[in-house]
Chains A and B, each alone.
Chain A
Amino acid sequence: MPQGDYIEQHRKRHGRRFDHYERLRKKEARASHKHSTMAQKSLGIKGKMIAKKNYSEKALMKKTLKMHEESSSRRKADENVREGAVPAYLLDREETTRAKVLSNTIKQKRKEKAGKWEVPLPKVRPVAEDEMFRVIRSGKRKTKQWKRMVTKATFVGPAFTRKPPKYERFIRPSGLRFTKAHVTHPELKCTFCLEIIGVKKNPNGPMYTSLGVMTRGTIVEVNVSELGLVTPAGKVVWGKYAQVTNNPENDGCINAVLLV
């Protein structure tokens, strides 16, 4: 028989001591005293561990007591007054916070006139001409090299028609033409897909602005009528500026941040 089973075998055959259960009960009753002497006497890390365990048990006990106490006395819990008061008809509805009304239009007009804007990307890497254009050879012997094809994303208006191919110097391929931009509102952090109205300024030069090339840092004007913004005078805002934040020729889409 395995060596640990002999005790059990003896218990089965002869039973336990007569005062076994009494002694067990008394020993358990003394357990709290023993625990407390151990807690007081222990030194070093052992003492600290016991203290920590005791503390967490005490905190838990306090919580349960408080919970029990609460249910016995009928008092309405005081609710704190929250921010963002809404009327009763909006209380059960979760509404996404929409763009707030524009700041003063006069200030904006003044800024526009001065041509100075606070933009998210003040400096961008300049794009060289040989990166922007690719030389297209033309002519019977392919020796003429006066045509250029734009290699970056462009915007042409809806009324755009090409010049006759014999005379067009700058080719804007239709695969790189974009009409919509993904515009992010900087405060609300939500993105809308809005139509582009026009290219306002390309930091690389006025020639690129007139061609409608959109690179990183370009200011474009987008149609914001779906945001429902209203000026203080009561007029509906339908166009706002946004600055391009990615390299559209690499990504295939235009990401911009709205200038508020």
Chain B
Amino acid sequence: MTMDTVDAGMGKTVMCLLTDPEGTNLGSAMYIPQNAGPLQLTHLVNNFLNNEEMLPYSFYVSDEELLVPVGTYLEKNKVSVEKVLTIVYQQQAVFRIRPVNRCSQTIAGHEEAVLCVSFSPDGKQLASGSGDTTVRLWDLYTETPLFTCKGHKNWVLTVAWSPDGKHLVSGSKSGEICCWNPKKGELEGSPLTGHKKWITGISWEPVHLSSPCRRFVTSSKDGDARIWDITLKKSIICLSGHTLAVTCVKWGGDGIIYTGSQDCTIKMWETTQGKLIRELKGHGHWINSLALSTEYVLRTGAFDHTGRQYPPNEEKQKALQRYNQAKGDAPERLVSGSDDFTMFLWEPSVSKQSKKRLTGHQQLVNHVYFSPDGKWIASASFDKSVRLWNGVTGQFVTAFRGHVGPVYQVSWSADSRLLLSGSKDSTLKIWEIRTKKLKQDLPGHSDEVYAVDWSPDGEKVVSGGKDRVLKLWQG
């Protein structure tokens, strides 16, 4: 009798230690009943942290997500009850984005293939650039064209909004950069010249570093990157050093510019004088895409899911707060995807050696993107798969298969729970991170899908491609 009760007593609880992703323990080891599932653990963590509102958490035991009660997990994996079980908790986004499942509108207007689309950081405006040399602004409430901005001489390859949403910049195949006023759809000044070949990427300086957004950096096929000032309307600094085309450029949150190039290197530049800080070598072929762990926060600036507008002096503070929250205590991480079928995870401010090499793709990696909370990395490759990796350690999590053609671009929803991919086979697919499966298939385009974007407020998805129409999808 006593044996039974002792056994029952021991079987009902297990010793657990809750830790946060960076390793600090939450309290000391405690006994938790075995029928406690993720919901009960969430309550527990919220109590310990004295949170005012119930924040959602997800729990991981040795890198596997804990979806079942602790007891079931123990039985399945035959973990001994004697040892202390370390459970890592991670905060999930407070808001939940509804997955999109229908095409609400197919808007024609462009006369040639749509090459790039971008939502403004507050999610209220939409801009797209196309092969017919125009940039078009679209009204999201009526889902109709708003402005047609003419001024480029050749295909518009990239378009970028400033993080405060006040400026729109686009780069073309002839090497010119045009600045537009998004409220009126007019060209501001004349096109900025300086680059000799086509523009491959544009990145703005983060709001928390300079509050009215002034500077942005562009990369070009001619091998240099230039920093421009939009108020002076000229190129301030030219960052030359790469021997071949610069394929992508990102302005990091700590004020460092990262450029990836076809000469297989990534260079880090400091922004006051344009000097080269460090060079990251390791790839064996062209670098196609770069992604920073705080990229999403830098892109959206002071806007978050609540949709509040801030006056200019408060913007900088709010943006800084959001940035620090997203970054955490760890240094900023950078991931680069290359033609040599691999990706590298770097901690560029710490060392010039890569932290991890992410292998697994069977064709070149076209696009890499960190999730908005920095926990996951998604990579789109020409081998028709999208792979998911752990954003902190770089470990491979799962491969999403389903596309029948090369996957061109990926985009995350603002809560990091859903991933969108657009491919050459004219479909878009939404993948759910929690179940690691296909959530929704979005067919409808009649030709290759070149560009996809998810609005920062999570309401709409836009996709454009070779069939010259823009499709808006809604939940």
User: Does chain A have a CB within 8 A of B153?
Assistant: yes
Collect the chain A residues with CB atoms within 8 Å of residue B55's CB. none
In the complex, the answer to whether B404 meets A236 with C-beta atoms within 8 Å is yes
- Chain A's nearest CB lies how many Å from the CB of B224? 16
Residue-by-residue, is B421-446 near A (CB-CB < 8 Å gives 1, otherwise 0)?
00011110000000000000111101
Whole-angstrom CA separation of A31 from B199 in the bound complex = 56
**Contacting chain A: which of B9-17, B29-37, B108-116, B309-317?**
B108-116
Q: Is there an interface contact between A228 and B113, defined as CB atoms closer than 8 Å?
A: no
A85 close to B155 (CB less than 8 A): yes
Smallest Cβ-Cβ distance to A226: which chain B residue: B404
If over half of B's interface residues share one DSSP class (helix, strand or loop), that class is named, otherwise mixed; here it is loop
Contact B153–A228 (Cβ < 8 Å): no
Q: Which residues between 222 and 242 of chain A lie within 8 Å of chain B, taking CB atoms? A: 225, 228-236
CB of A190, distance to nearest CB on chain B (Å) = 16
Residue numbers in B under 8 Å from A90 (CB-CB): 450
Q: In the complex, which of the residues A79, A83, A84, A101 contacts B426, with contact meaning CB atoms closer than 8 Å?
A: A101
> Is B471 in the interface zone, CB < 8 Å from A?
no
B145 interfacial contact with A, CB 8 Å? no
Cβ of B451 within 8 Å of any chain A Cβ, yes or no, is yes
Most buried by B among A85, A89, A90, A91: A85
Contact check, B424 vs A98: say whether CB atoms are below 8 A apart.
Answer: yes
Contact of A86 with B153 at beta-carbon distance under 8 Å, contacts A91-B198, A232-B446 already known: no
Contact A85 to B130, CB < 8 A, known contacts A232-B443, A234-B443: yes
Asked if B235 lies at the interface with its beta carbon under 8 angstroms from chain A, I say no
- Number of residues on chain A facing chain B (CB within 8 A): 27
A-facing residues in B114-134 (Cβ within 8 Å): 115-116, 130-133
Contact status B427-A234, CB under 8 Å: yes
Complex CA gap A106/B100 in Å reads: 26
Are A85 and B245 in contact, CB atoms less than 8 angstroms apart?
A: no
Q: Which of A203-246 contact B (CB under 8 A)?
A: 225, 228-236
Q: A102's closest neighbor in chain B, by CB? A: B446
Q: Does chain A have a CB within 8 A of B56?
A: no
Q: How far is the CB of B403 from chain A (nearest CB, A)?
A: 9
In the assembled complex, the CB of B442 is this many whole angstroms from the nearest CB of chain A, namely: 7
Which listed residue (B155, B404, B408) contacts A89, Cβ 8 A? B408
Say if the beta carbon of B174 comes within 8 Å of chain A.
Answer: yes
CA distance A90 to B131 in the complex (A): 13
Residues of B within 8 A of A89 (CB): 247, 288-289, 366-367, 408
Chain A residues near B132 (CB-CB < 8 A) = 81, 85
Is residue A164 contacting chain B, with contact meaning CB distance below 8 A? Answer: no
In the complex the two chains form, is B131's CB within 8 Å of A85's CB?
yes
Contacts of A225 in B (CB 8 A): 404
Q: In the complex, are the beta carbons of A79 and B174 less than 8 A apart?
A: yes
A 174-186 to B, binary, CB cutoff 8 A, 1 in contact else 0: 0000000000000
Residue in contact with B154 in the complex, picked from A81, A83, A231, CB distance below 8 Å: A81
Asked if B404 contacts A85 (CB within 8 A), the reply is: no
Question: Cβ of B426 and Cβ of A85 under 8 Å apart?
Answer: no
* Residue A92 interfacial (CB < 8 Å): yes
Interface string of B380-423 (1 = CB under 8 A from A): 00001000000000000000000011001000000000000000
A128 at interface, CB cutoff 8 A: no
Contact B404 A86, beta carbon cutoff 8 Å: no
Extra inter-chain contacts (8) besides given A81-B153, A88-B158, CB under 8 Å:
A76-B174, A76-B193, A79-B154, A86-B131, A88-B201, A89-B247, A230-B426, A234-B444
- Could you pull out 10 A-B pairs where Cβ atoms are within 8 angstroms? A79-B154, A81-B131, A81-B155, A85-B112, A87-B408, A88-B158, A88-B200, A231-B443, A232-B443, A235-B443
